[in-house]
Structure 1
Amino acid sequence: MTTPDTEPRLHGRLGAVAIVFMVVAAAAPLTVIGGNMPLAMGLGNGAGAPVGFVIAALVLLLFSIGFVTMTPHVPEAGAFFSYVTVGLGERVGRGVAVVALIAYTAIQVGIYGYIGWAIDDTVRFYGGPQLPWPLYSFAVLAIVAFLGYRHIELSAKVLGVALALEIGIVVLLDLVIFTDPGPAGVTLDSFTPAVFTNGTLGIAVLFALTGFIGFEATAVFRDEARDPERTIPRATYAAVLIIGGFYALTAWAFVVAIGPDQVAAVAQQTLDGEGNMLLDTTADTLGRVGRDVVNVLLLTSLFACVLSFHNVIARYQFVLAGKGLLPARLGTVHSRHKSPAFSSVVQTVTAFVIVAVFAVLQIDPLVGVFGSMAGVATVGMVLLMLTTSVAVLVFFVRNPDADRRLWQTRLAPTLACLGLLGSLWLVLSNFTLVTGGSLTVSTVLAAVPFVGLLLGALAWKQRSGVAEGSEVS
C-alpha cells in the first residue's frame, strides 16, 4: 500500500560505506574481471590493459570533482537529470532523464541475460540438467523484485555481504599471485609505454569504462543518506578510487600470473570459447576449491549488480514522477517500507517484458542480450557524464559566487569534458567490438541514447508549448 503525499520523499540513514557498497556492487567487480578484462587484453593492448583501467579511473575522477562540487546546489536525488536540469535547463534535463532510463534499463536487462547463461553453465558444469536461460533469469528477477520493493537498507545489507565475499576472494587471489608469481615474476612491464601502447590502448579504455557503469549512482541515494552533503562526495570519490584501483591491480595480477608475453593469447582463447581466463587462473592459483568459490561468487556478483541497478532505476522513476515527468503514481512512497514500491513494481514489469521478448526471439544471452545491451548502456553513460560535465561548467560560469575555486569549478570540469569526448569517440569507433553485431545493428543500437536525448528534449518543448497556450487562453 502506498500513501499519497504532495512531495513524498524517501528516508534512510545510509552512510558513505553503505552507499559505496551499493555503487561498487553495481560495478560488479568480479563480472568485469571475468568479462571485460579478457576483452581489454585480447582485443586491446594485452599486458598493457591495466593502464586502460587507470586512464578510465582518472577521467571519471576528473568528472567526479565537478560532480561533487555541484552537489550542495542540487538539493534533490536524481543524479544526472537533477544536475543537468540545474545547469542547462529543463529541456536538456528531460532529454538526459530519458537517456538515463535507457542506459540503466539496458545494462540491467543485459545482466539478466548474462546471469541466466551463467547459472545454466554452472548447473551443467556440476552435472545438472540443461534448462533454457530465461527460466533462471526470471527466477532472479523475482528475488530482485522482492528485495527492491522493501526498504533500501535491506538491499544494502544483501549487497554488502555479496560484495564483501566477492572482493575478499579476489584480494586473496591477487595476494597469492604476487606471493608466487608466474614465469616472468612480479613485472612492471604493463606500465611501460612500449607495452601499453602496443596494440589498441583505446579498446582497453573502452572496456574499462564499461566496467564503471553505475558509479555516479551515489547521488541517486541522496534522500536516503545520513548526511547528504558529506556522505555523497565521500561515497563518490571512494567508489571511483576503489573500483579503479581494484580493476587495475587485478588486471596487473593476471599479467603477473600468466606472464606479459602470454596474457594476450590466453585472453583471446577465452574470447574464442577455448578457456576461461578467470576460472582457469584461479584454479592454477587457488586450486579446484578456489575455482568453485569464484564460480559461485561470480553469480552473486551478477545478482548484486542487477539488484543495485533495479534500485537505481526505481529511484530515477520516483524522482522524475515527483517532477511531473512521469505518472504521479510512480512518485508515491510505501507507508511501511518507506520505499518507492510502486516504481519498483513498474521497473520489475518493464524488465520482465524486455527479457521475455529476447526469450521469445531466442536471442543468445551473451552476445545478443548482454553484448548489445552493454553497448547501448556504455554509449548512454558516457553521453550522460559528458552532458553533466558541461552542465557543471555552465552552472559555475553563470553563478561565479556559488563557488570560486578555480580547479573544482572550471579546470576539472573542462578536462573531464575533453576526456569524455575522447572516451565517446573510442566507444563509437569500436562499437562493433562491444556489441558483437554487424555494423548496421551496432549503428542502430549506438543511436538509441542519442534518439532518447532528442525525444526527451522535444517532449519538453511540446509540453511547454501546451502549457503556455493554456495560460494565454
Structure 2
Amino acid sequence: MSHNQTLAPAPAAETGTEPGGRLRGNLSVASIVFIVVAAASPLGVIGGPVPLGIAGGNGTGFPFSFVIATVVLLLFSVGFTQMTRFVPNAGAFYAYIGAGLGRGLGLGAAFAALFAYLALEAGVFGLFGPGLAELVQAYGGPELPWWLWAALGFVIVSIFGYLNIELSGKLLAVLLIAEVAIVLVLDAVVVFSGGGPEGFATGIVTPAQIVSGAPGVGILFAILSFVGFEATAVFRDEAKDPDRTIPRATYISLISIGVFYTLSSWVLISANGESTIVEKATQNPGTLLQSTTEAYLGAAGGHIAQLLFVTSLFACILSFHNIVSRYFFQLGSRGILPASLGTAHPKLGSPASASLLASSVVGVLVVLAVLLRLDPIAQFYTWLGGISSVGVVLLLTLTSIAVLVFFGTKQKGGPRWQRRIAPGLGLLGLLGFLAIILANLPSLVGEEGYGPFSIGVLVLLSAGLVAGPIVAAQRRSLTLD
C-alpha cells in the first residue's frame, strides 16, 4: 500500500461506513479543539503544575517556560501537519513513525503510546477522587474514601466513551468553556485593577529571572502541561474534511493553550506579588489558585474554582479515554489486536469494544492502587504521570525524526521550511526536553535518585518499543502505512 493511500478499508457504497466498521462522526475544528484542550486540563494546570513550576523551577520567570514550550511544539507541528496528507489515517503517532521509520518501530510506538495514555487516564483518577471528596465535604456531604468518588467518575467516563464521540465533544465543550472562563475572569480582574500588591510581574521578560533557580524544572512542568495537544490526528476518521480540520485543530489547540498558560501564570504571579509568590507556591501549591481566586472574586469565586477544578480533571480523563479507545480501535482494525476491537458499534459508530477494553485496564489499575494502599496523589498519580511524561515526549521526538526521514527519502522536494527546517529545529528542542525530563524523572516520581520506579518507567516504555519490531517480524502481512 502506498503512503498516500488510506489505511482504512474502502467505504461501503450504500451505508457510508466501511467493512470492519469505520468510526462515524462529524467533528468540526472546534469540536476537536475542545477534546484535545480538555485533555490538557487548563484549569488543572493553573492549579497544579504552575504553582509547582514556580516553587521548584525558575520562580517569577516561570511563565517564559510556556513561551519556550509553545515555540518548540509549534515547530514540531509544522512537520507533523505537513505529513498529515501523506498519512491519511487515524493512527497518530504510530502511523507517522511507521511511515518514516518502518512498521516495526511504528508498532512499538503504538504500544508505548498506549502505556503512556492509559497511565495518564488512570493516574488522573488519583487527583479526581480526592478532589471530588473534598468538594462534597466542603458542602456538608459525607466523608467517603477517595476511590468511591473515583468509581463514580469511572462509570460516567465509561458510558460516554461507549457512545458516539460527538456527545463527548459537546460535554467537553461545556466543561472546557466553564473552566477557562473562571480563569479568564480572574485574569481580567487582576489586569484591570493594575496588577497585584506590587503591580504587574516583570519576571517573564527579565533574563536574570528566567534563568534563575532551576529553569530545567520549569521547562519540565511546562511541557507536562501540554500533554494531549498532539492527539488531534487520532480523530481523523470522525472529522469533517480531515485534511483541513486536523492541521487547523492542531495549531489552534497549541496556540490557545500556550497563550492561556503564559498569560494566566503571569497573572497568578502578579496577583500575589513577585516578592512572596515563591514562598506561597512552595507552602501551599495545591490551594494557591483557589486562595487567589477568593482574594479577587470573593468566596463564591473560590467555590466555583474548586468545583471547576474537579470538572476539569473529569474532562481530562474523558479526553484521554477517547484517545486510548481510538488507539485500541486502530490496532484492532489492522489485525494487531483482536479484530473485535476494530469494529465500530453498528448504531453508534463508536469504538464501543475498544472503549470497554480501555475502561477495563484503567479499572484494574485503580483497583490495584486501592489494594496496595497507594496514596492517590503522591504515589498513584505521580508514578503514572512519570510514565506518561517520558512516553509522550519520547514519541514526539520519534515522530519528529520520522518526519525528517520521510521527507528526506520517501517524499523528496517540497517546501524546505515545512519539511526540513522547522521539523529539524523542533527535533533539537524536543531532544533538549527529553534530556531535561530524564534528568528530573526521579524527583518527578518521588525518588532521591534513579530507583526501582524510575528505572521501571524506562524499562516499560523500552519494552513497548522493542515489542513492535518483534511482532512485526512475526506477522509480515501486517501493514501500518
Query: What TM-score range do you get, normalising by the shorter chain?
Result: over 0.9
Equivalent AA in structure 1 for residue 257 of structure 2? I
Are 2:75 and 1:65 aligned?
no
Q: Is the 8 A contact 1:53 1:248 kept in 2?
A: yes
Please give the per-residue CA displacement for 1:58-113, whole angstroms capped at 9, x wherever unaligned: 11111100000000001110110111111111100010000110000010011111
Are 2:31 and 1:18 aligned?
yes
Equivalent AA in structure 1 for residue 417 of structure 2? W
Q: Secondary structure at the match of 2:57?
A: helix
Q: 2:270 aligns with which of 256, 272, 275?
A: 256
Q: Is the 8 A contact 1:431 1:446 kept in 2?
A: no
Q: Distance between the aligned counterparts of 1:432 and 1:48, measured in 2?
A: 24
Give the Å deviation of 1:190. Answer: 2.2
Matching residue of 2:211: 197
Give the Å deviation of 1:400. Answer: 4.0
Matching residue of 1:393: 404
Q: 2:327 aligns with which of 316, 320, 325?
A: 316
Give the Å deviation of 1:293. Answer: 0.3
Q: Is the 8 A contact 2:63 2:265 kept in 1?
A: yes
Please give the per-residue CA displacement for 1:274-333, whole angstroms capped at 9, x wherever unaligned: x71111111111110000000000011001110011111101111111121111000011
Q: Is the 8 A contact 1:375 1:446 kept in 2?
A: no
Are 2:465 and 1:453 aligned?
yes
Q: Distance between the aligned counterparts of 2:410 and 2:371, measured in 1?
A: 52
Q: Is the 8 A contact 2:60 2:201 kept in 1?
A: no
Q: 1:185 aligns with which of 184, 193, 199?
A: 199
Q: Distance between the aligned counterparts of 1:437 and 1:426, measured in 2?
A: 16
Q: Secondary structure at the match of 1:335?
A: coil
TM-score (norm 2): 0.93
TM-score (norm 1): 0.94
Q: Secondary structure at the match of 2:58?
A: helix
Give the Å deviation of 1:437. Answer: 3.4
Q: Secondary structure at the match of 1:217?
A: helix
Are 2:457 and 1:462 aligned?
no
1:107-256 correspondence runs (5 A): 107-180=120-193, 181-256=195-270
Are 2:87 and 1:74 aligned?
yes
Q: Distance between the aligned counterparts of 1:154 and 1:55, measured in 2?
A: 35
Q: 2:354 aligns with which of 338, 343, 351?
A: 343
Q: Is the 8 A contact 1:428 1:446 kept in 2?
A: no
Equivalent AA in structure 2 for residue 425 of structure 1? A
Equivalent AA in structure 2 for residue 308 of structure 1? S
Q: Secondary structure at the match of 1:76?
A: coil
Q: Is the 8 A contact 2:269 2:277 kept in 1?
A: yes
Matching residue of 1:55: 68
Equivalent AA in structure 1 for residue 86 of structure 2? H
Q: Is the 8 A contact 2:20 2:344 kept in 1?
A: no
Give the Å deviation of 1:128. Answer: 2.7
Matching residue of 1:471: none
Give the Å deviation of 1:459. Answer: 2.5
Matching residue of 2:104: 91
Pair 54,93 (structure 1): closer, same or farther in 2 beyond 3 Å: same
For structure 1, the residue ranges without an aligned partner over 5 or more in a row are 469-473
Q: CA RMSD in A?
A: 1.6
Q: Distance between the aligned counterparts of 1:265 and 1:155, measured in 2?
A: 40
Q: 1:289 aligns with which of 282, 297, 300?
A: 300
Q: Distance between the aligned counterparts of 2:201 and 2:151, measured in 1?
A: 45
Q: Distance between the aligned counterparts of 2:19 and 2:29, measured in 1?
A: 29
Q: Is the 8 A contact 1:122 1:295 kept in 2?
A: yes
For structure 2, the residue ranges without an aligned partner over 5 or more in a row are 1-16
Q: Distance between the aligned counterparts of 1:226 and 1:104, measured in 2?
A: 25
Equivalent AA in structure 2 for residue 406 of structure 1? R
Q: 1:301 aligns with which of 309, 312, 323?
A: 312
Please give the per-residue CA displacement for 1:119-146, whole angstroms capped at 9, x wherever unaligned: 1122233333321111111110100111
Q: Distance between the aligned counterparts of 1:300 and 1:138, measured in 2?
A: 15
Equivalent AA in structure 2 for residue 290 of structure 1? G
Q: Secondary structure at the match of 1:212?
A: coil
Q: Distance between the aligned counterparts of 2:317 and 2:279, measured in 1?
A: 31
Q: Distance between the aligned counterparts of 2:130 and 2:177, measured in 1?
A: 24
The aligned length equals 460
Matching residue of 2:377: 366
Give the Å deviation of 1:209. Answer: 0.7
| Deviation larger for 230-239 or 183-192 | 183-192
Q: Is the 8 A contact 1:52 1:202 kept in 2?
A: no
Equivalent AA in structure 2 for residue 311 of structure 1? N
Please give the per-residue CA displacement for 1:198-229, whole angstroms capped at 9, x wherever unaligned: 11111111011111111111100101111101
Q: Distance between the aligned counterparts of 2:190 and 2:455, measured in 1?
A: 41
Q: Secondary structure at the match of 1:339?
A: coil
Matching residue of 1:425: 435
Q: Distance between the aligned counterparts of 1:298 and 1:150, measured in 2?
A: 25
Please give the per-residue CA displacement for 1:232-259, whole angstroms capped at 9, x wherever unaligned: 0000000110111111110000111111
Please give the per-residue CA displacement for 1:330-361, whole angstroms capped at 9, x wherever unaligned: 00111111101111111111111111011111
Equivalent AA in structure 2 for residue 54 of structure 1? V
| Deviation larger for 15-24 or 435-444 | 435-444
- After the TM superposition, which segments of 4 or more aligned residues of structure 1 sit over 4 Å from their partners? none
Identity within the alignment, %? 45
Q: Is the 8 A contact 1:150 1:341 kept in 2?
A: yes
Q: Distance between the aligned counterparts of 1:165 and 1:342, measured in 2?
A: 31
Q: Distance between the aligned counterparts of 1:434 and 1:241, measured in 2?
A: 26
Equivalent AA in structure 1 for residue 335 of structure 2? G
Q: 1:42 aligns with which of 55, 61, 76?
A: 55
Equivalent AA in structure 1 for residue 427 of structure 2? C
Q: Is the 8 A contact 1:372 1:437 kept in 2?
A: no
Matching residue of 1:280: 291
